[in-house]
Structure 1
Amino acid sequence: MVMINPNKIPVTILTGYLGAGKTTLLNRILTEKHNQKIAVIVNEYGEVGIDNQLVVNSDEEILEMNNGCICCTVRGDLIRILRTLLFSMKEGKVKFDRVLIETTGLADPAPVAQTFFMDELLSETFEVDSIITVVDCKHVTKHLDYHDEAQEQIAFADVIILNKTDLISEENLQELEGRIIQMNPTAKRLYGQNCNVELKDILGIHTFDINHKLEVDPHFLEDHHHHEHDDKVSSVAFRENRPLNLEKVNQWMSQLIQEKGEDLLRYKGILYIEGIENRLVFQGLHMLFSGRPDRKWKENETKVSELVFIGKDLNKKELEQQFKNCIEIEEIGGLKKRKPKFKEFD
């Protein structure tokens, strides 16, 4: 039986491989009525923070961690952010009832949870409520075959959300479920499309059991962690404040998906398109790609396109040139103006 300490702040760790639907679930949590203030920590692998911009407008405290994986290179940042939250709460500057951590899709959730046991202050103040793993039913089989992180996320989960069930057959879903049960027979399984699950099934459920985690990872409470990402996987990010040509963007993405789709683990962005007063959000993984109008650009907001690609064997210079070709060209007196030199995000 899991022991509950009502004096501690509950922490939900939200994980899942790239493109599984974590941000969709996060937005669902933030928009539904639960009468709780949530401090949200969003971690992204790439240097451009897109997910933080895709989180719905809310009164929640949302903090961003970029340019590294929360389970290794920026784990110290997580400790500092949590300590800062506690200090701000004691000073009366912020108020929150629980913490929700959305990890990068390449994170191993074990060392994230370990943080709350190895740091004395955090251990006294916080309590891990549950680890929620979102699974992309369409692509997870391939991810499980080739990426250790996808296996770790399922093996360490307390709740597994089998998302995008509408994209596979019932037979394939049963096969996937059988494989997941072999990896983690004790996790609660939920099913949905666009992560349309009940919040009562994922928040305040107190399913994190330290003894069970030690069975999964006997070294869980040892203060060391060596998590190496596939050295073929990298991220490439761009930022541009000149408007893009929508037709050229569509042509570029269609060609890129055809040529490189299998190696594109995740790609996403906020686009500033010539002649359109709304932001354009695009997201994709492998061969699946979608774009949609978002909110209008605010009056005093800097209009800027930000894109990030996470994938295998990415050719940075080639992607840079392709993106440069999408910048809208101004016409002066019927003549096309030469594009200014492209500046990569730094």
Structure 2
Amino acid sequence: MYQKDEIGNKVPVTVLTGFLGAGKTTLLNYILTQDHGQKIAVIVNEFGEVGIDNQLVVGADEEIFEMNNGCICCTVRGDLIRILGDLMDAKLGKSDRQVDFDRVLIETTGLADPAPVAQTFFVDEEMASFYTLDAIVTLVDAKHAERHLDEGHEAQEQVAFADVILLNKVDLVDESCLNQLEHRLISMNSAAKIYRTQNSQIDLNKILGISAFDLDKKLEVDPGFLEEEDHDHDDTVSSIVLREERPLDLKKLEKLIGKWIQDFGENMFRYKGILYIKDVEERVVFQGIHMLFASNADRKWKSVEQKVSEVVIIGRELDPTWFQEQFAQCVAS
């Protein structure tokens, strides 16, 4: 297995998803043409689907190639893990082709559900030792989003998995419609940051290098990340916020999370939180995707901060009252 210290730090990966026509390719072009001083490896879903300012000229037999701005590009015609492995070997000088890059951007054109991409960095130890999933960025077409959200589960799932939502094409919609749509998005995913954009233009510091998927790092940067209010909604996808100031019993909580995964795992798209456990000096950070779950002890609680458990669950057709009641039963006696 490749060890992290072979390259110093893990390579951050940003997953870019969104509705058809929401502006993913425009954002991709924008990122690659900005003066950010980084070499970015771009993985696009299928050969021929994305044209990056007409710079991509590749023969049918090539899968990894360099662009004239120092970035590289790959086409996902095969298995994502294999392509990430090829990139890893190329960066480490363990293949005939040597390329250098600072981060990876995966554009998920044609993938309705970002889960398989995100799960790659959970289930494959070799990938997890070299790469770190930085954030899932979802673009939303402000002009057509209401219809997309009403008509299909795919659009809702893209919102559910997002760490950052770019509400794009805001110049085409009036303020009242934007506010209504933003409220709907918050009700579906209260943990995501939402930014309004035109032509997919955004301060890159808000979408790259934000450690949004690495919850313990995210909480160090933004301690109030999980402090969101729940909202009423009509969508099948929604977010549930659980909060408990009393210490929790670890065994009760482990049993409950096991039940969550067994009974609702397929409908739980993302869940994350920090836990205040009785007789444990550190905060416990956990997050999961569907049936995959991971937790770890974070830093010690600071003497000046309030010890509190906060959990956000994003999923489809989940009963918030049941989750609240079950979570409350995990309070330590």
**TM-score higher than 0.5 here?**
yes
Amino acid at match of 1:10: P
Matches of 1:55 and 1:166, distance apart in 2: 27
- Map 1:172-191 to 2 at 5 A: 172-191=177-196
Segments of structure 1 that go 5 or more residues without pairing to the other structure are 67-73, 223-346
Residue matched to 1:119: 124
2:25 touches 2:52 (CA, 8 Å); kept in 1?
A: no
Residue correspondences, number? 207
CA 1:59 to 1:196, structure 2 compared with 1: closer, same or farther past 3 Å? same
| Match status 1:139 vs 2:144 | yes
1:133 touches 1:159 (CA, 8 Å); kept in 2?
A: yes
2:70 to 36, 43, 59: 59
2:28 touches 2:52 (CA, 8 Å); kept in 1?
A: no
CA 1:78 to 1:206, structure 2 compared with 1: closer, same or farther past 3 Å? same
| Match status 1:219 vs 2:219 | no
Q: Secondary structure at the match of 2:116?
A: helix
Residue matched to 1:320: none
Q: Secondary structure at the match of 2:292?
A: coil
More deviation in 83-92 or 183-192?
83-92
Map Cα deviations across residues 292-332 of structure 1 (whole Å, 9 max, x no partner): xxxxxxxxxxxxxxxxxxxxxxxxxxxxxxxxxxxxxxxxx
1:114 touches 1:220 (CA, 8 Å); kept in 2?
A: no
Residue matched to 1:197: 202
Cα RMSD (Å): 2.4
Matches of 2:167 and 2:52, distance apart in 1: 25
2:119 touches 2:289 (CA, 8 Å); kept in 1?
A: no
| Match status 1:151 vs 2:156 | yes
Map Cα deviations across residues 57-86 of structure 1 (whole Å, 9 max, x no partner): 6321111125xxxxxxx5xx1111000111
Amino acid at match of 1:15: T
More deviation in 157-166 or 108-117?
108-117
Residue matched to 1:30: 32
How far 1:210 moved relative to its partner?
A: 6.0
Matches of 1:15 and 1:50, distance apart in 2: 14
How far 1:107 moved relative to its partner?
A: 2.4
2:26 touches 2:200 (CA, 8 Å); kept in 1?
A: yes
Matches of 1:51 and 1:9, distance apart in 2: 23
Residue matched to 1:239: none
Matches of 2:70 and 2:169, distance apart in 1: 29
Residue matched to 1:171: 176
2:76 touches 2:83 (CA, 8 Å); kept in 1?
A: no
Segments of structure 2 that go 5 or more residues without pairing to the other structure are 56-67, 217-225, 227-269, 273-286, 294-333
Matches of 1:49 and 1:105, distance apart in 2: 12
CA 1:87 to 1:220, structure 2 compared with 1: closer, same or farther past 3 Å? same
- Map 1:1-346 to 2 at 5 A: 7-44=9-46, 49-52=48-51, 54=53, 56=55, 58-66=69-77, 77-91=79-93, 93-209=98-214, 213-215=270-272, 219-221=290-292
Amino acid at match of 2:190: P
Q: Secondary structure at the match of 1:214?
A: strand
The sequence identity of aligned pairs, in percent, is: 54
2:16 touches 2:108 (CA, 8 Å); kept in 1?
A: yes
1:15 touches 1:105 (CA, 8 Å); kept in 2?
A: no
CA 1:209 to 1:87, structure 2 compared with 1: closer, same or farther past 3 Å? closer
Map Cα deviations across residues 260-313 of structure 1 (whole Å, 9 max, x no partner): xxxxxxxxxxxxxxxxxxxxxxxxxxxxxxxxxxxxxxxxxxxxxxxxxxxxxx
